[in-house]
């Protein structure tokens, strides 16, 4: 069972590293752009849809794009914190998976909000682009739950043997 725990930890770290690199790059691209990523109409379609839903003008759209860019950069930072926590606790025990789960909730929320306008306009390419992050977030969340249950069962078995 120890091999399963190591494999689980490796997959969780790999998923967190994926989000740290891919979403980190995307968040930096958005925040370093003069118009906060609005020049890429394909990927910022959800900003325009949300802006029209709330009746935002040009300045409001830019603020909304900056907000989502900051959120898209916060999720990789949370993943990096989890990776550092994993390596810090590698020798002495269990890492705090709640940190990663908070980042995964943020990732799932951003992905769903980003894909929602495409679902109404037959944007299958955008839906396909956001399917991988949703699947990886679901995989990592499931593995975090499995790892937490495994640690709890191990702890209970140690208490019963004493």
Cα–Cα distance measured from residue 46 to residue 115, given in angstroms and rounded to the nearest whole number = 7
Over residues 3-19, the mean pLDDT reads 85
- When pLDDT is cut at 50, 70 and 90, the band that residue 22 belongs to is very high
pLDDT tens digit sequence for 41-95: 777 888 888 888 889 999 999 999 999 999 999 999 999 999 998 888 776 666 7
Please tell me the predicted confidence (pLDDT) of residue 122.
60
Annotate 94-127 with b (16+ C-beta within 10 A) or e (fewer). bbebebbbebbebbbebbebbbebbeeeebeebe
Please tell me the predicted confidence (pLDDT) of residue 59.
92
Over residues 132-160, the mean pLDDT reads 84
For the cut 70, the answer to whether the pLDDT of residue 123 exceeds it is no
User: Residues 6 or more apart from 31 whose CB is under 8 A from it?
Assistant: 66, 69, 70, 73
Residue 99 contacts residue 16 (beta carbons within 8 Å)? no
Cα–Cα distance measured from residue 121 to residue 47, given in angstroms and rounded to the nearest whole number = 14
Range of the domain at 56: 2-161
For the cut 80, the answer to whether the pLDDT of residue 126 exceeds it is no
Whole-prediction pTM = 0.82
> How many domains in the chain?
1
């Amino acid at each position: 069972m120890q091999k399963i725990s190591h494999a689980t930890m490796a997959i969780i770290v790999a998923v967190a590293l994926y989000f740290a690199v891919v979403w980190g790059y995307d968040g930096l691209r958005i925040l370093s752009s003069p118009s906060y990523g609005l020049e890429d109409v394909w990927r910022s379609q959800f900003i325009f849809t949300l802006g029209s839903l709330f009746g935002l003008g040009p300045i409001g759209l830019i603020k909304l794009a900056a907000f989502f860019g900051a959120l898209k950069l916060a999720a990789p930072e949370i993943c990096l914190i989890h990776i550092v926590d994993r390596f810090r606790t590698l020798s002495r025990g269990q890492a705090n998976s709640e940190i990663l789960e908070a980042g995964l909730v943020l990732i799932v929320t951003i992905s769903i909000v980003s894909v929602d306008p495409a679902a109404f306009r037959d944007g299958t390419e955008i839906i396909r682009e956001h399917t991988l992050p949703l699947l990886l977030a679901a995989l990592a969340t499931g593995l975090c739950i499995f790892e937490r249950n495994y640690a709890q069962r191990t702890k209970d078995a140690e208490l019963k043997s004493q």
